[in-house]
Structure formats: structure tokens, C-alpha cells
Amino acid sequence: MTATAPVAERPAKEPKQSKRPQRFNEGTGRLAAILLSPTLLVLGLVVVFPIIMALRESLFTSGTKLDANGFIVKGSTFVGLQNYTDIFKGDTGHRFWNAAFNTTFFTVVCVVLETILGVAMALIMHKAFKGRGVVRASILVPWAIPTVVSALLWKWIFQADGIANTLLGTQILWSTEGWQSKASVIIADTWKTAPFIGLLVLAGLQTIPAEVYEAAKVDGASVWKTFTRITLPLVKPALLVAVLFRILDTLRIFDLPFVLVGAHKDSVETLSMLAYDEAFNTRYGPAAAYATLLFIYVAVVAYAFVKILGADVIGEARAKKPGGGGKAKKRRATAPEISAAAATNTGMGA
């Protein structure tokens, strides 16, 4: 940590970037490496290694032939990219594109709904009123229920003569193919994970100094204007991180459609379910190929998301890249506001 000490000598008002390149030297890189190594070590052990194993696995196939005694011939054969090309052939290809569509559809619809609901929840939780604790607790409940249990709960609710149909006075067969099964997954997923976005956004709201709002009030800004011009920009980093991780999660959605509607249903089959199905039938090569394709898809979506919206999330680092400056400037427009307000804030505190 000592390497950061020189920062103290820096005059507070100086523009942030100007002197850094000189001040941070080789030592900073080494320090950063030391400080980051626990994180990278854990991730390397438990995630990167299995991913590499899976990538390797996806190039092999095994267990497809029986010998004369009816035993499966052991050992795996290298097949190159065949597991990948097979995915796009014939029926399998149809199934793959259908699953890709479902995955995308669930992600777009769920994340949009969850974001709207989550932000609304955060705004409500942030308001000071009597019984706020209870409200916060109840918003937390859906997210706190184990997925194993909540999927069963929704399955029960959506039974042919379950409570959903009783209350709605309908006879909808929720688990059959069609819009209704998609709807049931979306309802259950939104219910469960909107609080996740709510919590993260709430944390963002809590770091906004009240003075900022006071100033807006003095200027006579409307509620909507205050929300779009002040609240939203200031919680943007927290919101973007929350949405980004929801996108990553929803693209890999598995449990809910699997438990709620069931396997092999065209209406809700997702890419994760295809990977699971192959692995379940001990075709680990194709399973790994599906997982890898999904992985690539998720990576592309995440990259696009960060590229388009996420300058705030990894802003500073990006700012130094040539061409990234424009976005960084946009971000910094809000930064002085916070700095100024926060400075007055702590000043009052001390």
C-alpha cells in the first residue's frame, strides 16, 4: 500500500490524470499484482482451470461405440471441431437456434423488467418512512429463498389447479408449450431477482449525498428531472454492474425453466439446458461444446454492454486509452459534483 503514499502530496484541486504516469512506476505494477493475486488465484483454481478442461473436452468424443460384448468402448477420440459443427446440423441446429432465441428472449425481457422493478424498489427502500425496515426485509425475501425451494414453490403455484389459476379464475396450463410457459418463467425469475438489482441500486443511492438533492430542490427541479438528471447518473455505476451481472446470469438461466416447466420443452429450452442435457446423457464432448458456445455468446454480449454503456464501470482505466477519452469525459462531468458535495459532507461531519 505504501506506493500510494505519494498521492498525499498531490494538491487536491489538480486535474486527476496529469501527473500519474510519472508517479506510478514499476513498483505499482508489482504491488497491484500482489494485491490482485488472491482473487486471481481463487478464480484460476476454481473457474479458469475447469473452463480450460471443458474447452479441451469439447474437442473430444467418447462412449459412442459398443464392443462385441455390449460394453462401451473406453477412451476418447480427438475430433477437432466436429462437436461444434454437429451442433448446427439438421434437427440439432434447429434446437440450438430455438434455445439461443429463448435464452436471448428471457434475458432481454427479464432484465428489462427486473431493472425497472429493481430501481423502483431501491427508490422506495431509500425513502425514509416508518416501517422502512419491514419493507426492506420483505423486498429481500424473494431473493433470500433458496432457488431449489422457490422453483418448487412456483411450480406448485402454476399447477393446473393451483393457486394462480384459482385466483385468476382461469384454466391456463402453465407448463405446456406456448406463451404461458415462457410467461411463468419470466414471472418467477423477475420476482426472484428484481431485489438483487434493488439492493445494489439502493447501495448506490445511499452514497449520494443529500446535499445534491437539496441543491436540485433549491433550483426547483421537478421530481422526474431530479431522477433523470441527478439520481440516475449518480447510481449509474452501481446500476450498470447490477444489470451486467443479471445479464450474465440470465443468459445462463437453467433452474427455473427446468424445474418449473420441464426438460425438452421447445418454448423454454435454453442453451444451458442443452449443455445439461448432453452432459446428462454422458456426452461430455458435445456438452462442453454447447457450454463453450454459450460462454462465447455471453462474453460477446458482456463486451458489447460494457463498450456501449459501461464507460462508467471501468471508466478511469479506459480513459487513458486513445479514443476512449470522449466517454471518459462524459463520466467526469458528474464526478466533480460528487467530489464537491462529498467534501462538504465530510467537512460537516468532522
Partner 1 sequence: MAVASSLALLATACGSGDDGSSSGGGSSAGALEGRGPITLAGGKDTSGNLQNQLNAWNAQHPNEKVELKELPEDADAQRQQMVQNAQNKSDAFSVLNMDVVWTSEFAANQWITQIPEDKVPDLGKLIPATVDTAKYRDKLYGVPITSDGGLLYYRKDLLTKAGIAEAPKTWDEMLADCQKVAALPEAKGMSCYAGQFEKYEGLTVNFSEAVNSAGGVIVDKDGKPNVNTPEALAGLQELTNGFKTGAIPKAAITYKEEESRRAFQEGKLLFLRNWPYVYAKAEATDGSSKVAGKFAVAPLPGKTGPGVSSLGGHDYAISAFAKNKATAIDFINFMASEARQKANIEKTSQAPTWASLYDDPTLTKQFPYLAPLKASILAAQPRPKVVKYGDVTAAIQQAAYDALSGKTQPQQALSDLQTKLQSLITQ
Partner 2 sequence: MATATAQVRADAAKVRAAEVSPMRRWAPLIGVGLIVLYCLAPFYWMVVSAFRRPADQFSNALIPRPFSLQNFKDVFSANNGFQRGLLNSLIVAGSVTILTLVIGMIAAYTLARLDFRGKNLVLAIIITTSMFPGISLVVPLLKLFINIHWINTYQAMIVPSLSFALPLAVWNLTAFFRQMPQELEQAAMVDGCTPAQAFRKVILPLAAPGVFTTAIITFIAAWNEFLIALSMTNKKSIQTANVIISQFTGTTGRDQPFGSQMAAGVVVTIPLVIAVLLFQRRIVAGLTAGGVK
Nearer of residues 62 and 334 to partner 1, judged by Cβ? 62
Written as nine digits, the cell of 130 is 416508518
Instruction: Identify residues 100-159 at the interface with partner 2 (CB under 8 A).
Output: 117, 120-121, 124, 127-129, 133-150, 152-154, 156-157
User: Is residue 159 a contact residue for partner 1 (CB under 8 A)?
Assistant: yes
Binding-site residue total for partner 2 (CB under 8 A)? 125
The residue among 71 and 224 lying less far from partner 1, judged by its C-beta, is 71
In the window 194-223, what residues touch partner 2 (CB under 8 A)? 195-196, 199-200, 202-204, 206-207, 209-211, 213-214, 217
Q: Does 171 participate in binding partner 1 (rule CB under 8 A)?
A: yes
Task: Kindly give, in sequence order, each residue whose CB lies less than 8 Å from that of residue 210, ignoring residues fewer than 6 positions away.
Answer: none
The Cα 135–Cα 121 span in angstroms is: 9
Q: Least distance (Å) from partner 2 to the CB of residue 85?
A: 19
Q: How near is the Cβ of 144 to partner 2 at its closest, in Å?
A: 5
Query: Which stretch in 223-231, 257-265, 297-305, 340-348 sits in contact with partner 1 by CB under 8 A?
Result: 257-265
Q: Which residues, 6 or more positions from 150, have their beta carbon under 8 angstroms from its beta carbon? A: 142, 188, 192
Q: What is the DSSP letter of 73?
A: P
* 95 makes contact with partner 2 (CB under 8 A): no
Question: How crowded is residue 260: how many other Cβ atoms within 10 Å of its Cβ?
Answer: 24
Minimum distance between the CB of residue 238 and partner 1, rounded to whole angstroms?
Answer: 28
Out of 58, 107, 115, 175, which residue is the one contacting partner 1 (CB under 8 A)? 175
> 71: which residues sit within 8 A by CB, 6+ positions away?
none
Partner whose binding site includes residue 299, from partner 2, partner 1, none (CB under 5 to 8 Å by kind): partner 2
Should residue 112 be labelled a site residue for partner 1 when binding is judged by CB under 8 A? no
Q: How far apart are the first and last CA of the chain?
A: 25
User: For the CA atoms of the chain, what is the radius of gyration?
Assistant: 25
Say which residue the cell 455471453 belongs to.
Answer: 298
Residues contacting residue 228 through CB under 8 Å, at least 6 positions apart: none
Q: What is the dihedral of CA 242, 228, 215, 339, to 10 degrees?
A: 40
Q: Which three cell numbers stand for residue 67?
A: 464392443
Q: Which does 177 bind (CB under 5 to 8 A by kind): partner 2, partner 1, none?
A: partner 1
Residue 127: φ, ψ to 5°: -65, 140
Footprint on this chain of partner 1 (rule: CB under 8 A): 33, 36-37, 40-41, 43-45, 48-49, 52-53, 62-63, 66, 69-72, 74-76, 159-161, 171, 173-177, 262-265, 277, 280-282
